[in-house]
Structure 1
Amino acid sequence: MVYFRAAVCAALLLFATSQVAPAQDVSLSSPDGAVEITGNLLGFDGEFYRVETKFGELTVDGSGVSCEGPGCPSLSDFVAEITLSGSSSMAEVLLPALIEGFALRNGYKTRRDSLGNGHFEYVLLRDQNRPAARFSFFVNNTDQGFADLLAQEADMVMALREIRPAEKKLAREAGMGDMTRSSRSRIVALDALVPVVAQDNPVQRISLPQLAAIFSGGIQNWQSLGGPDAPISLHVPVPGSGLTQAFEDRLLLPAGVSFSSNLRHYDRGSALVRRVATDPFAIGITSFAEVGTARMLTLTGSCGFSLRANRRSIKTEDYPLTSPMFLYLPERRQAKVARDFLAYIRGPGAQIVIRRAGFVDQAPERISLNRQGDRLSNAIQAAGPEVELGELQRLVTGLSGLRRLTTSFRFETGSARPDAQSRSNIEQLARALEAGVYDGRALTFVGFSDGEGAASGNRQIALKRAKSVRDAVQKMAETTGDDRVELRVEAFGEALPMACDDSAWGRKVNRRVEVWVQ
């Protein structure tokens, strides 16, 4: 397996190719002979040649030249090689389902072949079963995926977390540029970290501080949570998993604690869930898409608000432990079939595939005001001297007749920069505006805040955030004019809380910009 993988990766220094050996002599000539480029062929992606010449490295459109020499590939039999490495959660179901959908849409047949040790490949077949592309999956974890990317041994990294600062630094030092640019990553689907227990476990709710205390060893008996007098058995994915790292980054580190040494680790989420579902004294952290026969616990706060993971709460990031599923890309031109696949996963057809595969898609949904019962109840419960009845009436009057999009915007901790899911939402909303989805309508960007500080000041901060998101969408949707769609802003500050303000995660959930459609 090691030798096979090394052979595959050696061919992927810049372009994905199965037929071009490095540094072979070629001569590229225009039809009239006026232009001739001679040098060593470094790569071919099915469309473009990359040649090392005496003038430096050149990229040449293959449609405008003919190729002569021992390094010339066969244009008719070219097979693109795309290597994916990283998260097993994405490799087991999500990406294969998307490849099947992409193949069906583009007239390919598919064949799945085992590569041993849990690795596999999908072969896309043309007419007469001739291979057109191979998607090779090296199934491990997010850490290994980024390591393969930095070693230039992967064309796509399957990741359940954002790239970390140390990894970004290594990428820059390796000449790979800025990995945070939108061209270097895609959010494929949405997911969430969820605590799960067996169906017959009597505990129904848990707070995030309690969750951190359990997995750090501070709480060791179910009796402390209103359950039976029994020790708590802890189950998490392997340490290199994006889910485990995201849980550590978002819950344990802010609380100043670390994982307990008394953990059981799993390299497959499905195995973790099966174990937890059969043990009434177990608790595990898994993906929303892999809950299976286990039962999710509802997250609750000391003020009585509760949040449960479901498709809409994950899309809106109202659920605090959302976890987007990323594809990270190296700074090199992908083969055409890979570029077509990346374009496909952003489209409406792919969103249907994602949802049918059990994951949360990114297609916007509209939620009417009369379906905001829990939120309005929370608002009334939280109302006080600073948020008076008149402000709640203004909110209800202002949003009546409008429908909330699940496309929401939240911000990185301690920053005005939108988080990863929100940056993706900005791009998606801009594309929808350019496509005319909201022509003839009005979109209102509505800002909300946490409850710290004076209500009047919070309302101004929320309005500023709403304007910044509106402006970012407007800037990206370059072809959309005011005559096609009206973009408004409004703010209600702390008047509609989603979670308790007594924790950092609760305040982060409350600081948001929503989009309402008229």
Structure 2
Amino acid sequence: MMLRVLYLWILGALAPASVFAAALPTPEHGPALRIQGSNTIGAALGPALVEGLMREQGLIKVHREIPGTTNELRIAGETAQGRRVVVDIAAHGSSTGFTALQAGTADLAASSRPIKDGEVSNLRSLGDLKSPVAEQVIAIDGLAIILHPHNPLTQLNTDQLARIFSGEAKSWEDVGGVGGTIHLYARDDQSGTYDTFKELVLSGRGKALSATAKRFESSEQLSDAVSQDPQAIGFIGLPYVREAKAVAIADGPSQAMLPLNSLIATEDYPLSRRLFFYLPPNGKNPWADALVAYAQSSQGQAIVAANGFIAQTVQAMAVTPNALMPEGYQALSRHAQRLTVNFRFEEGSATLDNKARQDLSRVLDYIKQRDKTNRQVTLVGFGDAKTDPARADLLSKLRAMAVRRELVKRGVVFREIRGFGAEMPVAANSADEGRIKNRRVEVWVY
């Protein structure tokens, strides 16, 4: 296991194209790699990453082939010696990726939602799919709530969304809008986009999707249908807004937020989500290892951005102070800039989650490259509401200290560690998902 982690790190962080080319064998028969799962990833991002890796390999004549089945694609290229190399991608929904891993018909699962406990259990023979080497966050996406471009409504909250998509709110007038009967558009049951929407909006409120919703396997077709129906509402991954109109979303006491790149990068936007590759730890396909490493590299993250998703590249952004912020936070925003990453934690613990472990290296690179290792970084912790505000303040600072420990090991001397308790929530505390999002640590640089 440790050797494989080292292999992935070397490929992703250090290897030039020639090392990628030397590392991967050309199979005698069949595809070099089989990817199944999310349509959100498989429609465009997955193929673009495969093409990028193939070109890193030195393959020529890289192109796409349509085998004849909807939402399936083959990426093909040739070696300098004329040997054909192919990668097969089937994009029928996140759940199908895990089913294919279990059946042995895929080497890598693409998913637009976290793996479920039952899937982890079913795939135990392939290793721990929740381990850091297996669960790879390759991009951040935001679920956009889309309307017809002429719908005058500009914002909704997650409670209203639950009422709308469960069929309880039947007309636009029921949620403060105009336009008569609401027409619902949704992804199909195999979709990770649907799973995410169900988890973030419906299930926690004890609701289910209305049977009247029109269902789509294709993200593009759903978006185009909404943009042609003045009474429509749908949910979609960020790159697929197309001609429709996205509205601002609030969750609990959070401010209403549009699906802006900066708010999705930090996962503050209420309907932000992570996109994953799941790499079986006991797998033996070097192309799968290399694709994961390539997706995490600067080249791979550039492809993520070019395909309309949010890359995990760390950047500094100015934050405009406002009266809803604590005074100490306002003062910080006047003198420093916030990095476009939030550290989050495993459920019910102060242990950094898998994405946070990946982000440690990205943040450290940013700090070192800009010579900010000596008292030019402040960590700011937040938590979910507690019955005792003093306890919430303490826990928020302890989470910041957990990040501090990891970065101090790597030579960073901090200016300050702050804890703001349960202030400035980005999600409702009424469900586990919201509490996890509120337990976060921000990084600020001077």
TM tier, shorter chain?
Answer: 0.7 to 0.9
Aligned to 2:14: none
Q: Residues 378-412 of structure 1: CA distance to partner in whole angstroms, max 9, x if unpaired? A: 226xxxxxxxxxxx1x4444555322111112346
Q: Distance in 2 between matches of 1:493 and 1:162?
A: 28
Aligned to 1:21: none
Deviation (angstroms), 1:451: 4.9
Give the letter aligned to residue 364 of structure 2.
Answer: L
Deviation (angstroms), 1:241: 0.5
Does structure 2 conserve the Cα–Cα contact (< 8 Å) formed by 1:455 and 1:493? no
Aligned to 2:361: 430
Match 2:398 to one of 456, 464, 476: 464
Match 2:93 to one of 134, 138, 141: 141
* Pair 1:75–1:359, CA change in 2 (3 A): closer
Q: Secondary structure at the match of 2:51?
A: helix
Aligned to 1:27: none
Aligned to 1:157: 109
Aligned to 2:134: 184
Match 2:335 to one of 401, 415, 418: 401
Q: Secondary structure at the match of 2:215?
A: strand
Equivalences for residues 417-496 of structure 1 within 5 A: 417-418=351-352, 423-430=354-361, 433=364, 436-437=368-369, 439-441=371-373, 442-472=376-406, 480=410, 482=411, 485-487=412-414, 490-494=417-421
Q: Secondary structure at the match of 2:324?
A: helix
Does structure 2 conserve the Cα–Cα contact (< 8 Å) formed by 1:315 and 1:360? yes
- Identical-pair percentage: 27
Aligned to 1:372: 320
Give the letter aligned to residue 242 of structure 2.
Answer: G
Match 1:358 to one of 288, 308, 312: 308
Aligned to 1:285: 235
Q: Is 1:130 equivalent to 2:83 in the alignment?
A: yes
Q: Secondary structure at the match of 2:369?
A: coil
Give the letter aligned to residue 66 of structure 2.
Answer: S
Q: Distance in 2 between matches of 1:260 and 1:415?
A: 36
Match 2:195 to one of 241, 245, 249: 245
Bigger Cα displacement from structure 2, 354-363 vs 443-452? 443-452
* Pair 1:111–1:473, CA change in 2 (3 A): same
Q: Distance in 1 between matches of 2:142 and 2:63?
A: 31
Deviation (angstroms), 1:337: 3.9
RMSD across aligned C-alpha pairs, in angstroms? 2.8
Aligned to 1:516: 444
Q: Secondary structure at the match of 1:444?
A: strand
Q: Secondary structure at the match of 1:236?
A: strand
Q: Identify unmatched segments of 5+ residues in structure 1.
A: 1-45, 49-73, 381-391
Does structure 2 conserve the Cα–Cα contact (< 8 Å) formed by 1:450 and 1:497? no
Deviation (angstroms), 1:427: 1.8
Q: Is 1:204 equivalent to 2:154 in the alignment?
A: yes
* Pair 1:76–1:283, CA change in 2 (3 A): closer
Q: Residues 279-321 of structure 1: CA distance to partner in whole angstroms, max 9, x if unpaired? A: 1111101111111111111113675821111111111011021
Q: Residues 311-356 of structure 1: CA distance to partner in whole angstroms, max 9, x if unpaired? A: 1111101102111111111233444444333222111122222111
Q: Residues 10-62 of structure 1: CA distance to partner in whole angstroms, max 9, x if unpaired? A: xxxxxxxxxxxxxxxxxxxxxxxxxxxxxxxxxxxx979xxxxxxxxxxxxxx
Moved over 6 A (4+): 74-80
Deviation (angstroms), 1:432: 5.2
Aligned to 2:74: 121
* Pair 1:128–1:259, CA change in 2 (3 A): same
TM-score, length basis structure 2: 0.85
Give the letter aligned to residue 257 of structure 2.
Answer: L
Q: Distance in 1 between matches of 2:230 and 2:183?
A: 9
Does structure 1 conserve the Cα–Cα contact (< 8 Å) formed by 2:270 and 2:427? no
Aligned to 2:49: 98
Match 2:33 to one of 82, 85, 88: 82
Deviation (angstroms), 1:455: 3.9
* Pair 1:273–1:155, CA change in 2 (3 A): same
Give the letter aligned to residue 490 of structure 1.
Answer: I
* Pair 1:320–1:302, CA change in 2 (3 A): closer
* Pair 1:280–1:434, CA change in 2 (3 A): closer
Q: Is 1:315 equivalent to 2:249 in the alignment?
A: no
* Pair 1:398–1:432, CA change in 2 (3 A): closer
* Pair 1:218–1:412, CA change in 2 (3 A): farther
Q: Distance in 2 between matches of 1:88 and 1:158?
A: 9
Give the letter aligned to residue 148 of structure 1.
Answer: A
Give the letter aligned to residue 204 of structure 2.
Answer: P
Q: Distance in 1 between matches of 2:315 and 2:362?
A: 16
Q: How many residues align?
A: 419
Does structure 1 conserve the Cα–Cα contact (< 8 Å) formed by 2:378 and 2:418? no
TM-score, length basis structure 1: 0.74
Q: Residues 136-184 of structure 1: CA distance to partner in whole angstroms, max 9, x if unpaired? A: 1122111111100111211111111111011111112xx2221100111
Give the letter aligned to residue 511 of structure 1.
Answer: R
